[in-house]
Structure 1
Amino acid sequence: MNIELITTESSETDLKTELSLLLQRYPANHNTNLQAWDAADEYLLKQVHEQGRTDSNIAIVNDNFGALSCGLNRLLPDAQLYIETDNKTSISGINANFNSNQLNIEQLNWHTSRELLPKSVTLVLMKLPKNLSYFSQQLVRLSQVLPEGTQVLIGAKAKSITPTVIQLFTDNLGPAKASLAWKKCRVISCLSDGKVRQNEKNKQWQIPEYRLRMNNLSNVFAANKLDIGARVMLENMPKGQFDTIIDLGCGNGVLGMRAAQLFPDADIHFVDDSEMAVASTKQNWQANNFDEGRGYFYWDDCLSKLPTNVEPDLILCNPPFHQGEAITDHIAWQMFLDAKRRLKSGGLLHVVGNRHLGYHIKLQRIFSNCKTVASNGKFVILQSTK
């Protein structure tokens, strides 16, 4: 999709041509009308241009598919861009959009959300994440590297900028104020106060009925309790003999760890798009004293880079039905397609999902078979065989 990120009110400006970009979501899905950018991306780029910024070291946080990274590279082609993200799909999406727009990918420097950004950064552009606990943690980490007076610009939908969000800045980074609304979005401008905050301790909790202790980093789904879908899955684990099991979209790893209890001779492979999820799972595996030789951990976009020698006979899957704030089923589609591709002949895909999502239709199309293993008023457990 060809878009123009206009950063001035005048449609006659040459900048309009400079910021004409071809941006796609990742993975590319031609059957969706979801955009790879939003008005908050445009507003942030507009602010940078109107302020006349010429920074040579800029941090970009939570850039989903590269609208900010691509736009800044066009505006300031010599600037080093330090990209902080927790999602493997964001890295792939940004790289893909840089390549399709023939931008200089050597200007990109990658950081996970557990790594500190360099102290040489003089400007931070950020998208407001949905998870405010994760957002607080990001602000705390910025306080540990940004000198006093460093500007941080955060773009978000106007309705998402609440007094609670503004207070998070005061508590964790410095004073902040929101701009006027533009295309139903606002930009929060914060100046770092130079005070270093300490990271909060990870969330810790227990699942006594399965003798499991959990330890979650801030961007892991259901960070301090067992989510309802996972509970239904735990109550309806597959029967049989399995040697190689994948927990696909593992989150904190609870499904794979339960599988390790039920199938003590099986190797368990944990995969998630979130680096924090994979790190949490590895910590939980060790904390619950599972054999280190049985557990394998991958920060990956579904099963795209899983080693070729891994041939699962069981895949457990609790798919997400959103990507950022967008509700979408294409992640589940990719998970199911990857599962079909990687399973051994006769292997099982065991899925939990909300009833209204209609996963049985997708599974029937992909596997030519699908049966309901269990259900309640909200969730359904489905199983397909390769």
Structure 2
Amino acid sequence: MSDFSFDRLRRFPDVEADNLFAVDASDRLILDEAAGPLAVAGVGEVVVLEDRYGALTLGAAALHAARGIRVHQDVLSGEMALAHNAADAGLADTYRSFGLGRDLLANARVVLLQLPRNLAALDEIADAIRRFASPEVIVIAGGRIKHMTPAMNEVLLRHFGELRVSPARQKSRVLRAQAPIPSAAQTTVSTWPNCVKHVDLELTVCAHGAVFAGATIDIGTRYLLEFLDRMKTDASSAIDLGCGTGVLAAALARRRPALRVTATDQSAAAVASARATMAANALTDRVAVVRDDALRTQPEASAELIVLNPPFHIGSSVHAGIALKLFQDAGRVLHPGGELWAVWNTHLGYRPALTRLIGPTQQMGRNAKFTVTVSTAR
């Protein structure tokens, strides 16, 4: 018998704080709305997408006896949290994790989805469900009302013939989509990733739907690019931490041909995007792209140069915790004298934290919105 309770779920190894939660009302609403379809789903016919910390997967297993659940979570810390929570509840054998594609969705009849805020991410997910799931698939997609928009309905209706919107409950709502549009009416080939040539930088950027900024280059990254030639000139290797589409890694590799570059991100979409960016710029043999939770798999005192444009939010919550986690890991991985170059919104005031977690920190540039700093590891 499973020892399952929503109250036992943790976010670990993601940032944990009193105002950050592992489960919310939208998780419970999705599971309640899916009770009927889950009751008749066979083994291996249930798919869970973007389950943040395991509430949907483990709720489906413990409360509705779903088995053979296939799960995709873009964020690696979410995968790890699900694994910890599943082990704690005695449900580790009820699910398997997959990438977003055929193996995840083939013949799926019930899909539970925490709606991403990014419409492009929703479009790529809906497209994959339409192409690979059973024609009888029912998608139960939910979220907090404050993060939902009518544009989400429009995205889903590009891929499904029927859409029903649930009444609100506890500031949450569910969208129920079914009748995927047949392949004869839409292409069977995915249009992702989207690739854009940036002539001013002589760089092609490729992006899957869930990656930050898409195939554009965000203004913080553009500012940090101005400092490439000043970054630890004697370094033989570098890490692009939280690489996103891999713009900084690609620019470093192109500007400094002798540099060995690693691009790392915990987002599966970011890793796939960065690999596509390297391929589009003939840099596959020069840049290694890996999926990692911060720098968990990197040895201590092993890096000479790290570049970072840190996020300032965790999921839908604005929170400094993720940046501090990245700074701390950078401090562990940099060898003495190694440099962290970071760009951040000036109002966030990260300089004291950078000095505390890494070492002496200098301001190297500042414009109307951003500050660029270099921190030298002790």
2:35 is the counterpart of 1:42: no
More displaced stretch, 189-198 vs 37-46:
189-198
What do residues 218-266 of structure 1 show as CA deviations (whole Å, max 9, x unaligned)?
A: 2221113110000010012233221110000011111111111332211
Q: 1:346 aligns with which of 337, 341, 349?
A: 337
52 and 247 in structure 1: CA distance in 2 versus 1, 3 angstrom threshold: closer
2-side partners of 1:236 and 1:201: how far apart?
A: 31
More displaced stretch, 35-44 vs 47-56:
47-56
The answer (yes or no) to whether the contact 2:38–2:46 under 8 Å persists in 1 is no
2-side partners of 1:29 and 1:159: how far apart?
A: 22
AA of the residue aligned to 2:153: I
1-side partners of 2:219 and 2:67: how far apart?
A: 45
Partner of 1:81: 69
Q: 2:224 aligns with which of 209, 233, 239?
A: 233
The answer (yes or no) to whether the contact 2:108–2:134 under 8 Å persists in 1 is no
Q: Output aligned runs, 1:1-386, within 5 Å.
A: 19-49=5-35, 53-56=39-42, 57-77=45-65, 79-100=67-88, 102-193=89-180, 195-196=182-183, 197-198=186-187, 199-237=190-228, 238-239=230-231, 240-290=233-283, 292=285, 294-306=286-298, 308=299, 311-386=302-377
Q: CA RMSD for the aligned pairs?
A: 2.2
2-side partners of 1:268 and 1:206: how far apart?
A: 22
More displaced stretch, 212-221 vs 181-190:
212-221
Shift of 1:54: 4.1
Shift of 1:78: 5.0
What do residues 3-41 of structure 1 show as CA deviations (whole Å, max 9, x unaligned)?
A: xxxxxxxxxxxxxx9644411223254544211112110
175 and 45 in structure 1: CA distance in 2 versus 1, 3 angstrom threshold: same
Q: Secondary structure at the match of 1:147?
A: coil
Q: Secondary structure at the match of 1:250?
A: coil
Q: Structure 2: where are the runs of 5+ without partners?
A: none
Shift of 1:115: 4.7
Q: Secondary structure at the match of 1:79?
A: coil
Shift of 1:159: 4.0
Partner of 1:7: none
What do residues 275-310 of structure 1 show as CA deviations (whole Å, max 9, x unaligned)?
A: 221122122222212361x3211111111123x499
AA of the residue aligned to 1:317: L
2-side partners of 1:28 and 1:276: how far apart?
A: 18
Shift of 1:200: 2.2
What do residues 58-79 of structure 1 show as CA deviations (whole Å, max 9, x unaligned)?
A: 1111111111112112113452
More displaced stretch, 167-176 vs 332-341:
167-176
Partner of 1:6: none
Q: Secondary structure at the match of 2:161?
A: coil
2-side partners of 1:326 and 1:172: how far apart?
A: 29
The answer (yes or no) to whether the contact 2:6–2:55 under 8 Å persists in 1 is no
1-side partners of 2:207 and 2:66: how far apart?
A: 38
What do residues 173-224 of structure 1 show as CA deviations (whole Å, max 9, x unaligned)?
A: 2311111110011111112335134322532222323321222222221113
2-side partners of 1:273 and 1:30: how far apart?
A: 17
The normalised TM-score by structure 1 is: 0.89
Matched residue count: 368
1-side partners of 2:346 and 2:40: how far apart?
A: 51
2-side partners of 1:192 and 1:117: how far apart?
A: 19
The answer (yes or no) to whether the contact 1:139–1:169 under 8 Å persists in 2 is yes
The answer (yes or no) to whether the contact 2:212–2:244 under 8 Å persists in 1 is yes
AA of the residue aligned to 2:83: N
AA of the residue aligned to 2:335: K
Q: Structure 1: where are the runs of 5+ without partners?
A: 1-16
1-side partners of 2:59 and 2:134: how far apart?
A: 25
AA of the residue aligned to 1:220: V
1-side partners of 2:308 and 2:263: how far apart?
A: 11
Q: Percent identity?
A: 27
AA of the residue aligned to 1:290: L
AA of the residue aligned to 1:381: V
